Amino acid sequence: MPDIDIDFQDDRREEVIQYTRAQYGVDSVSQIATFGKLSARAVLKDVGRVLGVPLNTIESITKHIEARMGKVPPLKYVLGIEKDPKKNWEPKAEIAWVKQSDDPKIQQLVKYSLILEGLIRNVGMHAAGVVIAPSDTSDYVPLYKTPNTELMTMFNMNDLEDAGLLKMDFLGLITLTVIDKSIAQIKQTRGIEIDTDEIPLDDEETYKLFGEGHTVGVFQFESPPMRDYLRKLKPKSIDDLAAMNALYRPGPMEFIDEFIDRKFGRKQIEYLHPKMEPILKSTYGIIVFQEQVMQLASEIAGFTLAQADLMRRAMGKKKLDEMAKLRTEFVLGAEKREIDKKIAMEIFDMIDKFANYGFNKSHSVAYSLLAYQTAYLKANYPAEFMAAMLTSQMQHTDDVKNLIDECRKLGIDVLPPDINESVAEFSVKDGKIRFGMAAIKNVGKGAVDDIVATREEFGKFETIFDICGNVASKQMNKKTLESCVYAGALDSLAGNRAEKFAAIESALQFGHDQQQHREMGQSSLFDDGSGGDAVEMQPTLPACEDWPKAIRLSHEKSVLGFYVSGHPLEDMRTDVEDMSTVELGKTTPDLDGRTVRACGVISALRTKIDKRGRTMAFATIEDFTGKCETLIFADAYEKSQGAVKLDAPVCMIGTAEMSGDSIKIVADEVMSFEDARMKLTHWIQVVVSIQSTDEARMRQAISFIQKHSGNGNASCLFHLYSENGESKRWRLVSHEVKLRAEKSVLTGLRDIFGVENVRLVVDTPTS
């Protein structure tokens, strides 16, 4: 019996399971067991542990056993004990010593691991599967239960099908949750109630969003290649979206450009027979869906839908004997309908070509409709939609960062977490998104819910002691408070971050004492006699100098995954602007293939050993406007002399690769920002007004320049202008005086003339 897959809101999936139990009976509904087997890596670790083989020895073996497409290779193949007849797996030279070892423990390790590999190690629960039986499930299959699990079948999903039981997959789809939360936010912020069934399917803003490829967060349509195709397709209907959704898979992807060219008339649409047009018109003459295969077989050859489905399956599985038989039947059926034999054979061959790729249309249309709904919400209610998206990904830091970048592109402000404003989830107020406190590392939803409930009862918090004194102490533990301080969530309270951090221990003790007083019903000298809670004098915040900016930003990143109150490059903003030829968040397609120079902070870094045994790197760099992925091959990595480090400011020169409005840089050279500034700056340009520049200031400047002259390669260039409206300007150049464009020199000049009046002149990199 076929199984049935149904998507539900991922946060309400358990409700559906409970409903099913109530509807059909607890004993007739079971979840499904899964059986974890001992893979090559797992068996080596388990056997090695029993034999007492050192862990580092085991790991030196297992790290070379790499899974491919989710499959771990058999031990006998990677160790070279046997050759894989299908040649899918090759022996690993790095662990050839294991097979040849004369160490008795290693020999035992291999012997026992080969015997035990593939045996069942543990029992788990299928993530989505539910079985519904006509009577008690135990009448049909054996059951299994642990103290921590619900009732499960001991048969796996394949055996259950053989037993004839109905298996349903209750799938949790996060997109449905995002839609639900978006609608709730819209009602709360705008007073508008939205019914997804009433969303117009011809909304111009929605199709504009698709056509411009602004589909980050849009279900099924957010990958960069898909966004590129959308820009070409300019979809105008659900049919267009459904076709693109069906074509965007391995195999049929080769027909996407053909599909687009036919839509815009760049290629002619031709039908082998007029009867094909009504079936293929909506997809511009290309077979996209399984239903079209069946309709063609029915219309051209007179097949019943059952026969047509059998033909589709045979074509998909490439069963040659069945295909030959079907071909004969198809041609005979077509001839009975007065269709020429040659044309009938061409139609059959055409169907055969596409049948293997055909996608279920109802599935594609359903998902495309869901995608349209998410795009509609994003196009018309962007803040509410993005808040819901952020909430859905709040446990995934990288995704939150990407979504906040998208908010920036949409012009939506994302406000930092605030204990007096935030709730657990991301929320919207006045078109701005407030950071959800449950997205802070070590801050659980339970703690935030207690904070919000206390805030609603007693009003806003004024000190860290207010929090600990009123919120249940078991929720406000040390780790939670530290993370809140790090994130800046307590910035609206008295004191700077360093002071609040230093007060955490005393605040927790104060909260503990307050809780005890409440539980014991004790009064104090400060009780007003009304029988209310006892009031204790709050401790005083310790006097501390606030954390330096670098420490503050580092703490923010440690609990949020990104910077909130500033940027590590902020003190270098003017120089970053002067040295960069591209702003990472404001790129255009014409940059593709051009040499660019980008300055930013490395916010993510992964290194890899290439085929020649040299280190290369994949890095993400961020500037003030956005971020980009970069590829640093071994030559550039080695020349960088250690500049490629996490959180390090760098200057990168390389080739831009554009995908829509996203940029990737293949680096030719990477330098620390400080080194790049000194190496690449040819002129330090000072712009000054004659009226505002007195003799004392110029003498100060000359003295400063003479003091720092002689050890650099940057000339000093003065631009003098008049504030009296005169068009005349003077340009004074010193060819003899050479300065180093380092922080101390630039700071000194800017102290004299102002930050904006001292700029760097750097050559533009050539392509």
Predicted confidence (pLDDT) per residue in 428-445, tens digit? 999 999 999 999 999 999
Nearest to 219 by CA among 106, 14, 364: 364
Rounded mean pLDDT, 731-747: 82
Please, which residues bridge with residue 607 across strands?
617
φ, ψ of residue 558 to 5 degrees: the values are -65, -30
Indicate whether 591 and 517 sit together in one domain: no
DSSP label at residue 669: E
State the Cα–Cα distance between residues 757 and 734, nearest whole angstrom. 17
**Is 685 within the bounds of a domain?**
yes
Indicate whether 338 and 398 sit together in one domain: no
Indicate whether 414 and 515 sit together in one domain: yes
The pLDDT value recorded for residue 536 is: 66
The pLDDT value recorded for residue 730 is: 66
Residues in contact with 200: Cβ distance below 8 Å, sequence separation at least 6, in sequence order: none
Nearest to 566 by CA among 580, 577, 579, 552: 552
What's the domain range around 626? 570-678
State the Cα–Cα distance between residues 363 and 242, nearest whole angstrom. 9
CATH number at residue 24: 3.30.1900.20
Instruction: Evaluate if residue 527 carries a pLDDT over 60.
Output: no
Higher-confidence position of 336 and 710: 336
At which of 357, 372, 400 does a domain end? 357
What is the spatial order of strands in the sheet that 29-37 belongs to? 4-9, 166-173, 120-132, 29-37, 152-153, 143-144
The pLDDT value recorded for residue 729 is: 60
Indicate whether 629 and 686 sit together in one domain: no
Q: Mean pLDDT over all residues of the chain? A: 89
**Is 668 within the bounds of a domain?**
yes
At which of 175, 191, 212 does a domain end? 175
The pLDDT value recorded for residue 726 is: 58
**Is 516 within the bounds of a domain?**
yes
Indicate whether 140 and 167 sit together in one domain: yes
Residues in contact with 187: Cβ distance below 8 Å, sequence separation at least 6, in sequence order: 193, 194
**Are 670 and 651 a contacting pair, CB within 8 Å?**
yes
Rounded mean pLDDT, 618-622: 93
Instruction: Evaluate if residue 472 carries a pLDDT over 60.
Output: yes
Total domain count, the chain: 6
Indicate whether 100 and 140 sit together in one domain: no
Predicted confidence (pLDDT) per residue in 2-41, tens digit? 678 899 999 999 999 999 999 999 999 999 988 889 999 9
Instruction: Evaluate if residue 316 carries a pLDDT over 90.
Output: no
Indicate whether 592 and 666 sit together in one domain: yes
Predicted confidence (pLDDT) per residue in 396-406, tens digit? 888 898 899 89
- Banded model confidence at residue 275, pLDDT cuts 50, 70, 90: very high
The pLDDT value recorded for residue 725 is: 60
Rounded mean pLDDT, 243-261: 91
Indicate whether 441 and 503 sit together in one domain: yes
Indicate whether 136 and 47 sit together in one domain: no
The pLDDT value recorded for residue 532 is: 43
The pLDDT value recorded for residue 383 is: 98
Indicate whether 468 and 403 sit together in one domain: yes
Instruction: Evaluate if residue 672 carries a pLDDT over 60.
Output: yes
- Banded model confidence at residue 522, pLDDT cuts 50, 70, 90: low
State the Cα–Cα distance between residues 705 and 745, nearest whole angstrom. 8
Please, which residues bridge with residue 433 across strands?
414, 428
The pLDDT value recorded for residue 397 is: 85
What are the CA-CA distances from residue 718 to residues 361, 694, 738, 752 (Å)? 69, 15, 14, 13
The pLDDT value recorded for residue 456 is: 94
**Is 435 within the bounds of a domain?**
yes
Residues in contact with 240: Cβ distance below 8 Å, sequence separation at least 6, in sequence order: 233, 263
Instruction: Evaluate if residue 662 carries a pLDDT over 90.
Output: no
The 3-state DSSP class for residue 450 equals helix
The 3-state DSSP class for residue 531 equals coil
Indicate whether 344 and 288 sit together in one domain: yes
At which of 142, 160, 175 does a domain end? 175
Instruction: Evaluate if residue 246 carries a pLDDT over 90.
Output: yes
* Neighbouring C-alpha atoms within 13 Å toward the C-beta of 671: 14
CATH number at residue 621: 2.40.50.140
- Global confidence as pTM: 0.78
What are the CA-CA distances from residue 721 to residues 690, 727, 731, 740, 752 (Å)? 6, 8, 9, 26, 17
Angle made by CA atoms 8, 10, 14, in degrees to the nearest 5: 85
**Is 598 within the bounds of a domain?**
yes
Indicate whether 169 and 111 sit together in one domain: no
* Neighbouring C-alpha atoms within 13 Å toward the C-beta of 708: 22
**Is 745 within the bounds of a domain?**
yes
Rounded mean pLDDT, 723-741: 70
